[in-house]
Structure 1
């Protein structure tokens, strides 16, 4: 799904390669615009934190549930693997999306900027991206629709796994407990399809914030353990100490 989406973005970007420097300049100048900084720096920061957590889940504590299921002899090696996720999600995917939208600079995007500048609500990001794709090839929104559907389905699968693990930790791992969870999860999924998109995002932001508070507190309490594990892992790599770092992980790293 990521390949399909990035392929679409790359076609738009390489099809308008001469506009890339100007698009990057527009993004940078818009981010550090004196009027925007003076008028809404706090609001921009809050929205930025919300979208960053929604994009990469950094700091939320959900991704470690998946990483904890891997087979590894040292947790630090898996931690380095986990560091790639925010880079791919935030730096690669989001930057290419921004370049695609700014390069297209459609009338819809211009109207959206004017509406936001006037205090209105920001437009649906999927609609803006689809409109940008359509400026390159008329059938490109179909490619985006496939990518979005795959992203949505994989998100459902991933969060069902995360929340199932949390549920069984709190209420016990039994067939009855898991069936109750499945009914609750599917019910919320149905409800999410019939209420407004903004309400879904607001609810997701609230739940992510609740997870983030607990996770960052745990990270702070476990910081000495993380520091010790990282120091031992790096020392093992330097010294080639097989007792500290297994040979297969040392070779992979």
Structure 2
């Protein structure tokens, strides 16, 4: 078992090497320059689309723009924004957050291209239902000869969207904040019981299908962001003198930190990009699975809505988590990692009540992610085997929650990281090859938009 764990960790580290960085950062930069910064030029229009101004219930799809973004955010605004940020700081220092920012800003253009493609090249499942995602824009956009790449994406995506990490960290915070302080002896049994409770909650929503998932995400995502941000702002403004120095530390440490001074600047950059990918999933292909189900016949609109994800997720939420850890000084305690580090920062920032506020917030974070992931996985199963296997997949997915609750963080995060790295290859390669098609569609859309405004 130990040999398997070491293999998973080594594989993940190899997968997140220079070639993948070039693919993600280089590909995203190409999208940004090639589009002449369209994503940033049309931010206001993207917000207007999100408010429902352009919604048409008669258009093809299953979710409106808001529900599609909420479902995507339900998976991205999760433990990656709380414990993932803590892992980034412990692994690469505060400077890793700077590279998360860079990756997210580039990821805005990546999300625009990949999610526009998700609507441009939608396919149908064996029930005639409209479906979208990388596997469909690979086969519909590039042709049937590219199907092996689509199959590869679907297989590795099933690993990437497993509930292991979210469940592991939710179990850890329940153990550290509730059980241990109250004298409960913890171990495998308590972790298993926690996993069973989480599995039961997830099963209630997942069995209801995509519409119930969309409604649940639409209601819970705003709530979880508001509660979490309110607590974080309280902590930050309780340490007003540390906010600007904290921001300066993030920037300077990216170029002068201990890891950089030791000749490991590449390691810091890799850590930042890995954690950014873990938090906003730009270029991995998960968001197109949600946005491909949007009720719209205008692909560019959905691409514009989707590009808001990295801004909300990494630039806003991850930054607030990082500053909370930094301004409270907890980043200088590398003996703890993951959600426990963030919990200690909340404990220091809001004595007594802080950890409980955090556990409410991250419970919603984790549960909403656990709602969205089986929707993504179900699409992959549908593509690979047909709709009749989705119910069985949901059973397997729910059962695997118990594995996440009883496993170690290092192995789980390496397994998910490795899967994400493999998912990025077919997603980015196909999106780059199809980028001229996206630009043609974008020019047509914005020309028509200009005429309507005139």
Unaligned runs of 5+ in 1: 116-122, 241-249
Map of 2:366 onto structure 1: 152
Distance (Å, rounded) in 2 between the aligned partners of 1:190 and 1:221: 40
Map of 1:111 onto structure 2: 333
1:69 corresponds, among 293, 300, 316, to 293
Instruction: Encode CA deviations 1:117-147: one digit per residue, 9 max, x unaligned.
Output: xxxxxx4232121111111222111011111
Distance (Å, rounded) in 2 between the aligned partners of 1:111 and 1:85: 31
Give the paired residue count.
Answer: 229
1:4 partnered with 2:216: no
SS in 2 for 1:135: helix
Map of 2:28 onto structure 1: none
2:423 corresponds, among 198, 211, 217, to 211
Runs of 4+ in 1 over 3 A off after TM superposition: none
Q: Summarize the alignment of residues 140-219 of structure 1 with structure 2, pairs less than 5 Å apart.
A: 140-174=354-388, 177-219=389-431
Alpha-carbon deviation of 1:225?
Answer: 1.0
> Is the contact between residue 254 and residue 268 of structure 2 (CA under 8 Å) also seen in structure 1?
no
Distance (Å, rounded) in 1 between the aligned partners of 2:286 and 2:391: 21
1:33 partnered with 2:246: no
Provide the alpha-carbon RMSD of the alignment: 1.7
2:346 corresponds, among 122, 133, 151, to 133
Alpha-carbon deviation of 1:231?
Answer: 0.9
> Is the contact between residue 324 and residue 345 of structure 2 (CA under 8 Å) also seen in structure 1?
yes
SS in 1 for 2:387: coil
Instruction: Encode CA deviations 1:200-236: one digit per residue, 9 max, x unaligned.
Output: 1111111111211111111022111111111111111
SS in 2 for 1:239: helix
- TM score, norm. by length of structure 2: 0.48
- TM score, norm. by length of structure 1: 0.85
Indicate the structure whose relative CO is greater, using CA pairs within 8 Å and at least 6 residues apart. 2
